[in-house]
Structure formats: C-alpha cells, structure tokens
Amino acid sequence: MFDYETLKFIWWGLIGFLFIGFAITDGMDMGVGGLLPFVAKKDVERRVVINTVGAHWDGNQVWFITAGASLFAAWPLVYATAFSGFYFAMMLTLFSLFLRPLAFDYRSKIDSLKWRNNWDKALFVGSMVPPLVFGIAFGNLLLGVPFGFDSLMRVTYTGSFFALFTPFTLLTGVISVAMMLMHGSTWLVMRTDADVAKRSANIGLVVALVLALCFILAGVMVWQSVDGYVVVSAIDTMGQAQPTIKEVTTGSGAWLTNYNETPILWLIPVVGIIAPLFVALFLSIKSKSTTIKVLSFVGSSLTIASIILTAGIAMFPFVMPSSSIPSHSLLMWDTVSSESTLGLMLVVVAFFVPIILGYTIWCYKKMWRTVTIAEIEQNSHSAY
C-alpha cells in the first residue's frame, strides 16, 4: 500500500494529529479545571462550570490514550527513552491526573462545602500540573535531552529532575498552561451565562494576550539563544531503526532551517500569533451572539494546533534530540517500528479514529446546551 518511507512520514503526521486532538479536547477540560477557582465564586457556580465538561472529560481522555499507545507502537525507542529521561516528570503527571477522575466522581457524593472545596482544589491541581509538565518537557526537547546509547542500544540518561527547569523551559510551560486556560475560557463562554461567562471572558482575554506575547518571546529565544540540531549526513529514509548511525551538528537558530528552506511554512507560527489576538478581540466584545462565541473557540483551537505544529515542523525530522551525543538523537526516520507494524497500525487507526471522531461529535451534539444556575438548582442530586 505505502512504502516504508511514506509510512514513517504518515506516522509522524498521525502522532502529531493525535496530540493536537488531545490538546484541543482534553486541554479544554484542563483549562476549565484550572479556571474553576477564578470564575466560580459560589458552590452552585462551581457546579455549573464542572457540568459543562462533566459529560465529556472521560471521553476526551481517549485522545491521550490513543496518542500514547501510538507513540509506544510507532516510536518504541522514543517511548522508552522519554520515560527514562523524564521519569519523575512523567510520574508527577500521572499522579496529578489521578486526581481528576476522583474529583469529578466524589465532589458531590457528600453534601459538605469543605468536602467539595477540597475536591475542587484537587481538580485544579490535576488540571494544571499536566499541561505545565508537558510544556516544560517540550521545551527540553528543543534544548536537547542528555542521553546516549551504548553498543547494546541501552539508553543512559545523565540529566536530573531539577535540570529540566530553565528560563526557556519555564516559558514553554507558561505557554502550555496559557493555551489550556484560554481554551477553557472560550468553552465556558459558549456553555455558561451570567457572571461565570463574564468572568471567563475577562480572564480569557488577558490569557490570550499573554499567550501571544510568550509565543513571540519563545520564538525570539529559539532564533537567538537556543541551539538547534541539524543532520549533516545522508539519511536512509527506508532503513530500519539505527539511531546512532548519522552525523548531527548544532547551532544557534538551526531550528528555523525548515522554515527558511520552505518559506510558506512561516504562515503556521504567524497564525499562532494572530489567532490568540483574534480570540482576545472576540472575548472583549462580550456579545451574546453565538457566532462570536463559536469564533472565539475556533480561534483558540486554531491557536493550539498552530503552536504545536510550529514546534513539530521546527524539529522535523528530530523527535528527541540528544544534547549529550547529538549523533544519537532520535529521528522519525531511524527510530520507528518495522514496516509491517506501521502498515498494520495504519489500518487499525484508519478504522478506529473515524469512530472516535464520530461518537465524540455525536455526544457533543446530543448534550449541547447552556448550563445555568437554575438548571443546577433544580437538579441538586446530579452527578456533579
């Protein structure tokens, strides 16, 4: 059906698509959880906020599971190396994610304000820690991860947990959190009314402007002070996984090579700057028009996709560059599974992803409504 080289490229695109899908869908839930203490002042308002995502959050997690499984199956060396290098960060993310289902399921089991407030705090932590960690981790990918392989292809990681935190990686962490908060605010503007919607619009406007500014600053740092990676030897795009057989060099501004070679690609980071400005504009209008509200959400989704694509294209074909031994960097060409595995997985994904998209759209369509305080007060025994 497809040759090995084409399959490798398809899977690079598919994994990117799945992570963008996760960031847009589950990122919306995380943004709502992060906004909970700031847009909802009373328990009934917090219940309004939670009920906007309560019916969908676990379904949205499918994108994360699918993306993780695809990463494991398509790029096993990347999966293994990432968990070795970012082990404590991964554990921190997983333990924080444990708080989300517990908070959703247990906060309304006992009619106690203290009980609910504690679970709301847990939901906030479980919603904000993952995007912060993901953002910091991606910043470290752009800087390079200190790892290398021995003669038996056993990976050795020479970094430490606290070495993950640098000015640049903290900035990328802020960008990640800001994306989720902006996305959550546009969702709440669409799904709530009265004070909750107004507070969400006000916060979303500020966050969108901060996001645009931070994204520009990160771009300047990538151009001026972050050493990028470039493969200077021939690449066997049809070969099996042999990540140590190549020559890689580093240099300031090297991450912009793909953009300089194909100037039309500059449109993607430009959209990543302009889209949040439009989101801020739409949120500032404070219109009751459904069209304006939808446009703000679409603009937020486009922002997320553009920022992720900007980083992915800058790194292409690198997936996980090595700062210790640059020639051991993992590329999408030399770190993949076998041709038969990629082909079989493509058939599976071609069958299941449309199903996921189909039932997700159906669920949102059937459950779409504006969640109001009156509705919550009339259904005091609802799940959330």
pLDDT digits (tens, 9 = 90+) for 47-80: 999 999 988 888 888 888 888 888 888 999 898 8
d(CA 335, CA 346): 17
d(CA 67, CA 22): 8
Of 52, 375, 10, 331, whose CA–CA distance to 184 is shortest?
52
Determine the 3-state secondary structure of 156 from DSSP.
Answer: strand
Residue 211 has pLDDT above 70, yes or no: yes
Percent of the chain with pLDDT over 90: 62
Which pTM does this prediction carry? 0.94
- Residue 381 sits at φ, ψ, to 5 deg, of -105, 20
Helix (H) or strand (E) holding 296: helix 290-315
176-198 burial, b for 16+ CB within 10 Å, e for fewer?
Answer: bbbbbbbbbbbbbbbbbbeebbe
Give 231's pLDDT tier (boundaries 50, 70, 90). very high
- The stretch 250-279 carries a mean pLDDT of 95
